Amino acid sequence: MKQDYENTNPKPLAPGHHPGPLPTDVREPGVWDDTPEAINRRKFLTQLSIALGGLTGVALVVPVAAFIVAPLFKETPIVWRAVGDLNKFKVGETVQVSFDDSSPVPWAGITAKTAAWLRRTGDSSFICFAVNCSHLGCPVTWLPGARLFMCPCHGGVYYEDGKVAAGPPPHSLFTYDTRVNNGQVEVRATGVPIPT
């Protein structure tokens, strides 16, 4: 049919001149349909696709962005966590204790636990070091024989008072406040110290 149409219109077109819509009887549906209604329909569908694409993008991006940004605006609560009976700790001994972090979420499970190194320094005085290395946060180990804290990741070493002895750590081990309350040793839990 298209061939017949062309044969019946042999006149060459002037430059820039559009032949106009084909007669309905020779149109290939969906290809040649350039009536104003079809053009409007196509425009509408294009705009609808763009709008739906935009909405999908927003629906995907907003929750992810909120998840990343929300902690920056949320104040971490500070709470005291009991880590054991006072009599359980010997003066001068450094032991590992664990406690729930200050803002565990219901589904956190074991990941809500934070570890620390606790040393009794007197009748009711303690010092508590974060287990996280001040370099990149790896857990440090206490070596009682050498009286040093060692980090297995990049060889960071700390003296028994938490000060840096060697390696890449930029500063001393973070410490938590402690207190004795009703015969229980308590550690003031804060957010996990993030190395800076």
- Is the CA virtual torsion 5, 9, 14, 19 positive or negative? negative
Q: How many CB atoms lie within 10 A of CB 147?
A: 11
Measured from the CB atom, is 164 or 185 closer to ligand FES?
164
Q: What is the DSSP pairing of strand 141-143 with strand 79-85?
A: unpaired
The rounded Cα 99 to chain-centroid distance in angstroms is 23
Work out how close the CB of 82 gets to ligand FES at its nearest, in angstroms, rounded to a whole number.
29
Q: How many CB atoms lie within 10 A of CB 47?
A: 10
Identity of the amino acid at 29: P
- For residues 61 and 55, is the Cβ–Cβ distance under 8 A? no
Measured from the CB atom, is 154 or 171 closer to ligand FES?
154
Q: What angle is formed at CA 166 by the lines to CA 126 and CA 152, rounded to 5 degrees?
A: 80
Measured from the CB atom, is 86 or 165 closer to ligand FES?
165
Work out how close the CB of 152 gets to ligand FES at its nearest, in angstroms, rounded to a whole number.
8
Farthest-apart Cα atoms in the chain, separation: 111
How many residues sit close enough to ligand FES to count as binding (CB under 6 A)? Answer: 11
Measured from the CB atom, is 162 or 169 closer to ligand FES?
169
Work out how close the CB of 160 gets to ligand FES at its nearest, in angstroms, rounded to a whole number.
17
Residue appearing with tokens 């009599």 = 87
Work out how close the CB of 156 gets to ligand FES at its nearest, in angstroms, rounded to a whole number.
3
Measured from the CB atom, is 79 or 148 closer to ligand FES?
148
Q: Which of residues 124-183 bind ligand FES (CB under 6 A)?
A: 133, 135-136, 138, 151, 153-154, 156, 167-169
Work out how close the CB of 130 gets to ligand FES at its nearest, in angstroms, rounded to a whole number.
12
Q: Site residues (CB under 6 A) for ligand FES?
A: 133, 135-136, 138, 151, 153-154, 156, 167-169
